[in-house]
Amino acid sequence: MAIEENTEFPKDYQHEDYKYLTTTEGPLVNSRTKRNASTSQISGNKSNKVVVSVEKKRLGGIRICQWCYKAKPDRCHHCSQCNRCILKMDHHCPWVANCVGFYNYKFFLCMVFNCMATTWTIIGTSYPVLQRTISSPASFDYKIAYFIVTSYILSAAIAILITLFFTFHMYLMVSAYTTIEFCEKKNEEDIPFHMKQPYNRGFCENMRNVLGENPLLWFVPICKSSFCIRTIFSGKFQI
């Protein structure tokens, strides 16, 4: 459906992006340009610093959520379970009953890391009991011996699965991917996403963007408000 230029207040969702295409700023303008508008006018520099949108529609329009009727920034997706748009959405986790995205991805990684460390600790500490059960089965009741062996096998299987899951998310973090981007954009025909890597800023910078600036607190489930505010408003860290 074509967009009519004489439509001042379009109501259909097909026209929602027209008002952004006809403006000089749009929804993805750096907030600092508005605060420094008076300073730029005095100095004679009237150029606005516009944040270039990487993800656009097929015809170049700004992405509009058909459910929220709002402009969607890069890496933002609408979750049907939470019924809202999630910034830098990774996936909807049923184990925490919430979406994993920009604000809680570090806490999700810390949870997976602690689960992995706990399972391997259980395997390491219970190995002598398993070894004694196998070497001298007469010293245990067969029911207890069966319980020990079965529990150890299940713990080892869970530890391997959680380790593989944590390794996968570490790969996504150091490569500046999300689970949605890894699954949906790996078969793109025009300029593959994994070859272009528009959000990759290097190994160390990608780690700092998610886990914070202090390496000693990377896997500690805390997040300083100064880091979050600086990430959102200053534009120093890339979403």
Residues identified as active-site:
93
Tokens 């004694």 -> residue = 132
Please give the backbone phi and psi of residue 39, each rounded to the nearest 5 degrees, phi first. -65, -40
Which residues have C-beta within 8 Å of that of residue 180, sequence separation ≥ 6?
Answer: 77, 89, 90, 91
3-state secondary structure of 105: helix
**What is the CB neighbour count within 10 angstroms for residue 210?**
20
- Which residues sit opposite 77 in a β-bridge? 86
Rounded to an integer, what distance in angstroms lies between the CA atom of residue 145 and that of residue 186? 47
Please check whether residue 61 is in contact with residue 21, taking contact to mean a CB–CB distance below 8 angstroms. Answer: yes
Diameter over CA atoms, the chain: 90
Helices 142-174, 203-211: axis angle to 10 degrees equals: 120
3-state secondary structure of 45: coil
